[in-house]
């Protein structure tokens, strides 16, 4: 039954919607945590340390963090695979482009695929920069996330990569949230306007919240 559901277009769209909402929940929490950097290194570093001890003593050190990472990996893979397979089905169903292209789709809709690729590449860079320190500039300091973040956003390319990725994220969330609501049956004539407004607000809050950190470093508010 699971394979039958997965092989269907509706099943893939459902997987894509649920995995997207899981990632959206994480992004909201992650953004709030990032904003703690404006309260200084002590507050931000303490928050980073707390993430490793969540659930103690019931959970061992970092177990909760690794559980969250595992869920996110599953969500990202499921989202990417379902998106790719749905895209391939769409191409096979319509191999030739329409002669008259109607500009009915929004900019976010037309750039969902490219936005997904940009975000996937950004995730790799972000992990190599602030988790493993492999591509980090200024000398990665284990256990000092505040200084590592300041180092990253003290470079022009770190700011450009991050801000471009967050703009892509905003467009992705704006269209993805509304699409997920439609897939999961939450949409209707009476609720569509409210859902679109909620998607706009979510996209704006996430984009502004994430971009606030590099802007804070660039302006010297965070140093």
Read off the pLDDT of residues 96-142 as tens digits, 9 standing for 90 and up: 554 445 545 555 566 778 888 999 999 999 999 999 999 998 789 98
Residue in the block written with tokens 């750039």: 111
Percent of the chain whose predicted confidence (pLDDT) is above 70: 92
Residue 191 confidence (pLDDT): 82
Alpha helices in the chain (DSSP H): 2-7, 9-34, 41-53, 63-93, 107-110, 112-130, 145-152, 156-183, 192-218
Cis ω for the linkage preceding 57 (within 30 of 0): yes
Q: What is the pLDDT of residues 166-184, one digit of tens each?
A: 999 999 999 999 889 888 8
Residue 153 confidence (pLDDT): 95
Q: Of 32-36, 57-61, 138-142, 186-190, where does the model show the most confidence? A: 32-36
pLDDT score of 74 more than 80: yes
Residue 201 confidence (pLDDT): 95
Residue 97 confidence (pLDDT): 55
Q: What is the pLDDT of residues 183-222, one digit of tens each?
A: 888 877 778 888 899 999 999 999 999 999 999 999 999 9
* Cα–Cα dist 176/199, whole Å: 8
* Cα–Cα dist 160/155, whole Å: 9
Residue 95 confidence (pLDDT): 58
* Cα–Cα dist 221/223, whole Å: 6
Comparing C-alpha atoms, which of 39, 58, 218 is closest to residue 146? 39
* Cα–Cα dist 141/102, whole Å: 52
pLDDT score of 29 more than 70: yes
């Amino acid at each position: 039954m699971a394979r039958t559901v997965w092989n269907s277009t509706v099943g893939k769209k459902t997987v894509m919607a649920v995995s997207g909402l899981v990632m959206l929940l994480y992004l909201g929490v992650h953004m709030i945590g990032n904003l703690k950097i404006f309260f200084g290194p002590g507050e931000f570093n303490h928050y980073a340390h707390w993430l490793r001890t969540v659930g103690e003593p019931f959970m061992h050190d970092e177990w909760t963090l690794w559980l969250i990472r595992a869920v996110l990996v599953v969500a990202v893979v499921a989202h990417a695979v379902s998106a790719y397979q749905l895209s391939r089905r769409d191409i096979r169903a319509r191999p030739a482009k329409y002669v008259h292209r109607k500009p009915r789709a929004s900019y976010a809709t037309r750039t969902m695929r490219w936005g997904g690729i940009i975000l996937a590449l950004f995730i790799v860079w972000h992990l190599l920069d602030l988790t493993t320190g492999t591509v980090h500039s200024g000398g990665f300091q284990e256990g000092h996330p505040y200084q590592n973040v300041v180092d990253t956003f003290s470079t022009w390319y770190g700011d450009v990569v991050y801000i471009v990725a967050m703009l892509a994220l905003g467009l992705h969330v704006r269209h993805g949230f509304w699409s997920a609501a439609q897939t999961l049956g939450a949409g209707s004539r009476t609720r569509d306007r409210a859902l679109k407004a909620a998607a706009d607000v979510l996209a704006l809050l996430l984009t502004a919240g994430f971009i606030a950190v590099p802007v804070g470093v660039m302006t010297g508010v965070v140093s």
